[in-house]
Amino acid sequence: MRISKSILKVILPLLLGVGLVWYSLSKISVPTLIQYFKDADYSWIILGVCLGILSHASRAYRWLYMAEPLGFSPKFGNSFMAVYSAYLINFTIPRAGEIARASILTNYENIPFDKGFGSIVAERVADTIMLLFIIGVAFFLEFEFIYAFFVDKFNPISLIIGVTVLVLVALLFLIIIKKSNSKFAVKVKGFISGLVEGALSIFKMKKKWAFIGHTFFIWTMYVLMFYVTTYALPELQNISLAAVLIGFILASFSIAATNGGIGSFPEAVVISFSLFGMAEDPSRAFGWIMWSTQTLVIIVIGGLSLLYLPIYNRKK
């Protein structure tokens, strides 16, 4: 039974990704997509790639602050290559990258796996908080638009009733979970407790402000990477910041839906940009350009990292 579940966790995201690739390419002809790639201004794409590399380098350096309280002083090179190796491995088995990253640090830095993995999970807490912050900024910037969109799609009274019901259901769910001792309830409570503990642990480390600074830098680079790449296509050069933020948010969630966002990333961009009246073809082309260039970088640097790690640590 466990083997079947493990296989499904690998196969289903892959099948979903393949299906979305087929759907996406059915909405735009391959020659048209190729033409967008040919006409794109690659100076902006290269700038986006550089910003992406800077964000990943900052992520690798930020983790050094997590290792310090554990009593270890890992090399930046190993941390950097572990990060890119993890991203590459996530393309094969979703969410396996974190395990691989912790394993690499165990092999080459002698950091116990459980401690290394725990620190990586704590990092994810900080990243989750930053993503929620970006969602809040997007909501603040486009409150009127978001409100008008929902009012247009739904009856205002039904919308108010729906939101009220959702809030009540959420509160009821939390009360039941708090009082229950079922396996599911224990997992949920453990997850929430882990988020709180991970967030608080950040403020207990010696260099917490450096860690927080790197966290803001990482996510600023992510958003800028997304934003500057829109300038590669003339049709998107007048895009609003709100559209970029919402596109970035949906695209970020799409990466978790399929292996590395294959198929889902371009369609997430189309959905978000279409809300702001952007044409589908350039939006879909941008999604493919953004996803393919960043994926190519991960494949190249991640692949070289896996090959170079034993050489870099040959003395060990």
Looking at per-residue confidence, does 226 or 178 come out higher? 226
3 has a pLDDT exceeding 60: no
200 has a pLDDT exceeding 90: no
* Long-range contact pairs involving 56-63 (C-beta distance under 8 Å, separation at least 24): 56/80, 56/83, 56/84, 56/87, 58/214, 58/217, 58/218, 58/221, 59/83, 59/123, 59/214, 59/218, 61/214, 62/123, 62/211, 62/214, 62/215, 62/218, 63/119, 63/120, 63/123
* pLDDT tens-digit series, residues 131-152: 888 888 888 877 776 666 666 6
221 has a pLDDT exceeding 80: yes
Q: Are 188 and 177 in contact (CB under 8 A)?
A: yes
| Stated pTM of the model | 0.81
Measured between its terminal Cα atoms, the distance across the chain in Å is 40
279 has a pLDDT exceeding 80: yes
286 has a pLDDT exceeding 90: yes
| Burial environment of residue 118 by CB neighbours within 10 A (0 to 12, 13 to 18, 19 or more) | middle
Residue with tokens 């910003």: 51
199 has a pLDDT exceeding 60: no
Give me the DSSP letters along 262-292: TTHHHHHHHHHHHTTT--HHHHHHHHHHHHH
Give the mean pLDDT of the chain.
84
